[in-house]
Amino acid sequence: MGAVTDVSLEVSGLAFAYPDGHQALFGVDFTVARGERVALLGPNGAGKTTLVLHLNGILTGGAGEVKVAGLPVGKAHMAEIRRKVGIVFQDPDDQLFMPSVREDVAFGPAAAGLKGAELEDRVDRALAQVGMSDFKSRPPHHLSFGQRRRVAVATVLAMEPEILVLDEPSSNLDPASRRELADILRSLDVTVLMVTHDLPYALELCPRALILSEGVIAADGRTAGLLSDDTLMRTHRLELPFGFDPRSVSTGTMGV
């Protein structure tokens, strides 16, 4: 396997300013290897959303380059890029709009041309991956919030993405749903970029973290090490929950 195919995501010199003149990114550089789980951390206004929207070409036109599995994000490869980069939004109701769970999960693959037994197999596999096979015929609005989030993940997995981007995946989840989602994410054979303010969840799921601050990557390293650096955390307005000490957590027992 060549070097390019071992890299899921490569961001080089990415800079971007909005039409009103607000500069959100000032030159972002990082690489994510195939199969890595990486947390993207940073205070509000750091540029995290702007960065994520560049990964599948929703935003373009700035300086620098983004490559997904070796393909430059741009018009020539846009359909393939949007299949390879699956974004799970913070609110699952932004992704679930069909009368049944099955129809929601089938929507993307069907639009891409799958049909018949092949389509049903894709739906069944995606629902099995998130533990929602028994809810295939249920209306999404009859599910709990945690179940809807798992179905939203399934809608993305049904497209067989190269990279799964999760926007605040633990928000509004009760402790049991939070743990169930963590178990699912650990089981997936896919590259994960997780945007989160939930620092213990980042530590639990992502061996590596990036800190994006004022439009640049301010730190890149082992999640436990970054969260244990008090000066770094204060400088970039990151705060752990009261009483949580990352030094006391055995990450070896957390699947990282």
User: How many Cβ atoms are within 10 Å of 91's Cβ, its own excluded?
Assistant: 15
Could you say which DSSP state residue 219 is in? E
Sign of CA dihedral 36, 105, 56, 23: negative
What topology does CATH give the domain 4-237?
Rossmann fold (3.40.50)
> Tens-of-pLDDT digits for all 256 residues of the chain?
333 459 999 999 999 999 998 999 999 999 999 999 999 999 988 899 999 999 988 898 789 999 999 899 988 888 899 889 999 999 999 899 999 999 999 999 999 899 999 999 999 999 999 999 999 999 999 999 999 999 999 999 999 999 999 999 999 999 999 999 999 999 999 999 999 999 999 999 999 999 999 999 999 999 999 999 999 999 999 999 888 888 877 654 444 4
Contacts of 137 (CB under 8 A, 6+ apart): 100, 101, 102
SS3 label, residue 250: coil
SS3 label, residue 70: coil
pTM: 0.90
Where does the chain have alpha helices with state H?
48-55, 78-84, 101-111, 116-129, 145-157, 175-187, 199-205, 223-227, 230-235
> What's the start-to-end Cα distance of the chain, in Å?
25
- Residue 197 CA to residue 44 CA, distance in Å, equals 9
What's the distance, CA 52 to chain centroid? 9
